[in-house]
Structure 1
Amino acid sequence: MNIRKHWKKILLSSTALFWASCGGDSESSSVAGGTINEDPVNPDSIVNPDDLDGIKIDTLYGIRPVYNADSGAVSSADTCSSSSEEIQSSSSEAESSSSEIAQSSSSKTTYPSFGTYKLARDTSTTCEVTEVVRTYLSSRISSPTELMDSLENNTTLSVEALELVEDNLEESLNYGVLYGSPSTTGGPTYPSKFECTNDSTYTTSTHVAKDGVLYTREEYKEKFPNQDPDKPSPLCQKTDFILCGGAPYMESGKERTFVGSLPNNFESDKETLIDSVKATFGNNLPDALKNCLDSNVTSMNMRKDIDGGTTYMNPRGPIATKQICDGDTTVNPRYQAKLDSNKAYVRKQINKCLTKDD
């Protein structure tokens, strides 16, 4: 029996058992924060593996075995100590990565679109909006009657929220039989939390934000005694609705009277502008200019296409003509904007007639 041949097998088995034990000790030491001390290997006593019967023992589990001829012990060229260092290094990298994630998650989120606020009691302190809340206007599709009622009798919605209700009312002719169907209508977003340069954080449960200033509720009531801090300011209603080219669906028993027709108002404004130009010329009005004004100028109800055809304004839902905010009545901005757009459209055509006449 060849003793040397069996001796090589014993070496390999011992090496495997040693490394499995060494790896387990190294890992637990790293977790515990301890270290492993290895006895140094005498270089002169190391047997070259290539000398073992001409067969090269290269690696087992990625480790080159080393045999000490004097003691008969098997060790590794890569000691447990180095493995422990690698594990500790890996652990440090993991801790560093965790720290970066925590820093990123703890960074402050702000909403610059809301601008900054100043504290009423200390205007040198500025605050940023760090949390917002979004309102929801409805959980279903409202009918035109319901939308007009909510505009006329508003006690809770801000001006921004009312504009969204007006959007829905203008589109209401497209809903038809869908009235009452489930549909979440999102409202505007409002600041709800503020972080300030005095290292303090405030919320809308204790403070009221108005016109770039952050008040305590007591400060707000003192400065605005006639305004409820829990209601929007200004508090507005929209009234006196006008038809916009189409008759909306009215529930039985809830019919209402409208103050007029937007297409008719467009035509009236067009005629007024044309008459003012004709009056400027008096009896000297050129026939060519008169014909151009009478034939080529239209309101936004009818648009002349490039090929000479006519495009009619699409019917829309009703629009409120008046806005009442904290008791002050003005023209509803949405209605005024449509009148202004029509006048600008008519003036542009009149200018073309005047240029053509020159």
Structure 2
Amino acid sequence: MQVAAQEPSILDVSPFMMPPRSTWAAISPSADSNVVVTEGGGTDGAGFRTIHLRKSTHATKQAAVDLARSGLVKTGDILLSFRPLWDNTLAYAHMQLGVSHSALAFVVSDAAGPFVMTLESPMSYSSPMNYPEHYSDLDAIHIIRPNLNAVQVTNLEKWARLAGSKQDRFEFYSDYGKPMYQRGVAGVSTPSEEAKLLAQILLGQDARKFASYCSEFVWAMLSLRDCDPAAFSGTCVHSPFSTASGMMTGLVPQLHGDSGLAQGAEASLTGGGVAAPERKTTLTQKVFVDVLTNESQLAGRMSSGHIAVAKANRPGIQAINGYYSAGEPAPVASAINAGIVDNVSPTSYIVRSNAGLDGFHYVGTVVFDR
């Protein structure tokens, strides 16, 4: 049984960063005594289900072993790198809900037993949760579960094995604002064609390399969940998002039947039962604003790369603040969306979960505090 408890201090963040309780996945108790689950803190409508691992397992394979034995991570789950220290910093960091990276999880086994293996871009990060340049400074990891059936899980496992055997066919693309279908890549003019190219590369039908950022790679892999590599046809490619393009736009007024890239906080507050006036105040005065204006205050909280991205996005974020200040008018949303290409960010997966869309559900947040 999960027990109620105060959330650990690392998860003492603003409520807009918390998943609505109504969107949490139903889970079984931890099957491993080294992994303890608690549910507490936050608000009545939103908070964290905390998955406590031993401090000694941080950035080691043992964390992957313990999670696999606990049964709390399933093949196909999405692991989101959560940076709680981004709270109360810059508007861009708030919009991203503190999420900086995404990966796919697979439960595999070796002679010693099961463990969680990640598949991610950069491909070098793929590991039993112990690639030092990423996992050594990662304090918390959200687990988001897509709605997958047994056949889809098997298909993803097959694609993952192919990807693992062809790691030299992958490159990391660092511009998160320019998805592949916008880069002039031959034969790739729509999001779905990105996933088709991934399949063709993995099947040895295309000699090019697959260049993607982390969330784009996760999206493309999940788009192949209905495809058996042994009988691949482009018609089996289906985005995990039920949007017109398969990726996400910036804003959907009032979250009517959809959600945009910038609306994770709005979805969290709405799903958490926050009334409209308080929601507007939070979005305009706490989310889409820079709290810290002196870069020296960000040392140790955000990387220089993320600070640079935050600076570059300030004009767009100011426009989003204006949209919420004006009461979310559809014409303003349309004007903002006109300057945004449909895309997928690491935060997209928790945005869909927060908004109760496409079968995505929040499982819990891993911390290393025992």
Structure number with larger C-alpha Rg: 1
Q: Return the structure number with greater relative CO, CA threshold 8 A, min gap 6.
A: 2
Write 1 or 2 for the structure with the bigger share of strand: 1
Q: TM-score normalized by structure 2?
A: 0.18
Q: TM-score normalized by structure 1?
A: 0.19
